[in-house]
A and B are shown apart, each in its own frame.
Chain A
Amino acid sequence: MDVPETVVLEQEQEEEALISGSEAIAVACKLADVDVITAYPIRPYDTVMQYVAKLVANGELDCEYIVAESEHSQFEIVKHAAAVGARVFCGSSGVGWMYAFEALTVTPALRLPVVAMVGNRALDDPGAFGVEHNDALAVRDLGWMLVWVDTAQEALDTALIAWRVAEDRRVFLPCAIGCDGAFLTHSQSLVRIPPKSKVQKFLPRYDRGDLLLHPDNPITIAPQVNEDWLMEIRKQTDEAMRRAKGVIEEAYRDFENTFGRVYGNPFFEEYQTEDAEVVLVGMGTLSMPVKVAVRQMRQKGKKVGFVRIRWFRPMATQELQACLSRFKAVGVIDRDFSLGSPYMSGVLANDIRSVLYSASARPAVVGFICGLGGREVTVPDVRQMVEILEKAASGEPVEPTYWIGLRE
């Protein structure tokens, strides 16, 4: 076979291709002309490295493609490459991401714009390939920007946005793109691939300025510090995360102007919420069964809607509060768990409770733990959740947290 399977050409026009979410990320690497990519196989992320390898082998992508000996080295290499001014890409899944944890923790304070794809996967044990969000969520407090995508198209677009935001001098923070294992990484769908000329217009060169590690700019990074210094360094990282929100908004506006694809509110997508009384909130690919169930229930006259969160970090606190405080009850679907946390809920549910606490009108919040380990979130599951929400909305007592789709 001498015909490359990856249908990306140096085209001048936007083209349509049937590609998976992983392939879409690989295509984004090509379009963004990434300089250094590191890889270490773990499912489902490994599909990205396979596509990248193919692009490199076909001469379509000119980059340093380094297959490291572990995830830890994988993330250390891109961290250092970002310090010397290279645009980088990296990724992992599940326990692979956890094995890189030390490298992940040191990246934000050094203000290195590493862009990573996390092919969300359950954390072993037991060994399992299916999606859970606990892997990516583990870095939620550390200064990593975290965004979840729903479709292959959104994966491609969001990767381009991720480099643009991460490499902005006002931000300089790493960004991980959460892609649900199997549902997104392994399903091929129709994706519009923009021409490289437009991407170049959208994505300026990565300029590290006076922080560039180079013999012409002699600096030392990451010296040992004590209690007289660290708090100020943490505050700097905090400020970068605060600034990231505005930079994300800017990037989405520019994205729409450049490519013509409209995402609206960058931080979360609202689906049939205008007159809704109860809504479900979730992240990633569970949006498809939820949207189908919402449509079916709307036909039966139920006032139900859906809010899909894209950017988990930084979280759009004010906008989310303004949105969610309009409803009578909010059900948060967590494809993760946070054992022993308040109300024994998931990570997202407790963040949403916190978002709503200062609202003048506080809806009831119910946590739903669902779809763990790659189990499907089904339409009947969603109906069950909405029934519980309706009870909560009418003031009937409900539990703070339910496990949905569990054999009981």
Chain B
Amino acid sequence: MQNTTNKEREELLNEANSARWELGLDFHDTVIESIYSNASQIARKTVTQKGEKEAYSADLKIDKIVTSRWLGFPLMFLMLATVFWLTVAGANYPSGLLASLLVDYMHPILKSAAASINMPWWLDGVLIDGAYLSMAWVIAVMLPPMAIFFPLFTLLEDLGYLPRVAFNMDNLFRKAGAHGKQALSMSMGFGCNAAGVIATRVIDSPRERLVAIITNNFSLCNGRWPTQILIASIFIGGLVPAQLAGVVSAGAVVGIAVFGIFLSLVVSWGLSKSVLRGEASAFSLELPPYRPPRIWQTLYTSLIDRTIFVLWRAIIFAIPAGIVIWLVANIHIGELSLAEHFIQWSDPFAIIFGLNGVILLAYIIAIPANEIVIPTILMLTVLSTKLTGGAGDGVMFELDSVGDTANILHAGGWTLLTAVNLMLFSLLHNPCSTTIYTIFKETKSWKWTLVSTFLPIVMGLVICFFTTQIWMLFVVG
């Protein structure tokens, strides 16, 4: 019985196969065509149109403006610049508030609570100075910008403007062998690279999607803007008269961001000429009609889907990293702590790249979030130079005044060259652990995760190296 059915099945399959050979190449098309003609027949019988033309012609008028040769790009830059400005400026106050609540207010309370129950100093250090503080920093500096950026971005998306950005930018990306929608994931990357990597889901061809994922890190994310702004205003703004300082340092930060865009195009081009070879493939992009954004829904989805989601991932990574940060500063081998050993050991190498051991160590242990790089650098600088001030070994801190921060950094031996290299390295280093994890989730491939992690580091080191050596040759030499 079993045998005969098996045989029958075999025969049936063979027959089906030969039938498909007979049908030839364009059988699929014929099916789709007949479905469409059927559907349009039904629609003609049953659907009547009324007054749709009017609404649509208004759309067309808007489209003619936002995609026009002269106004298209300026409008786009204006729109995106407004979003970033609102994010950076708007996040300042709530960030400060959160920091004073979680760091300045809660941290001492927890400390004294720990003291009152006679917690051993090391446990108290690991849990409160390490894990809690790192989590608190991440929440304080990450939450407000994200809670502003994501809803704004989602509003633009909902409005229907973002597809027009992709439409306008496509030519540039096509020449780099990438997909026009990479413009979207790139803009999203300016908010958060992890979200940018997720946003590449809109790209349907796998090759272009990988290109977009690997290059997303070149978008300067929210976590890195404050670092750039701080360093630029201390070292670059300090070069010019006070009234020009703001403009010049803002210009330097924008310059770094634009350099990032340039690199992401160059790297896209390089990837599609080498490891991800191929011509620019299918591009068809629907330009949906404009519609009033659904504000509440937007707020809800962007807060839940993006902000909380990303923040949660960041917190999960921040806690163990906080413990590591505290431990390397407090475990001593001989006279020195682990951190100091590493800093002294790596200083000679770091100097070739115009950086220093503190910066290298900070970028290694502050991998969960770019936001905690500056607090970590400050803590490590104080630790390694034996300065007074700071909040204690392994306790990250930030200072209210830019001047005090500058003093610590100058004491750590920072020069203008160090600052320039830090700004470059902040743009070009491994993505944060949240992003790396997201890349792995999205690509399901160790290989591409490693490429996206190490490619920017290598590029960063190479660029810092040449910057430093050329600087030495012409400026110092």
A and B form one complex: no
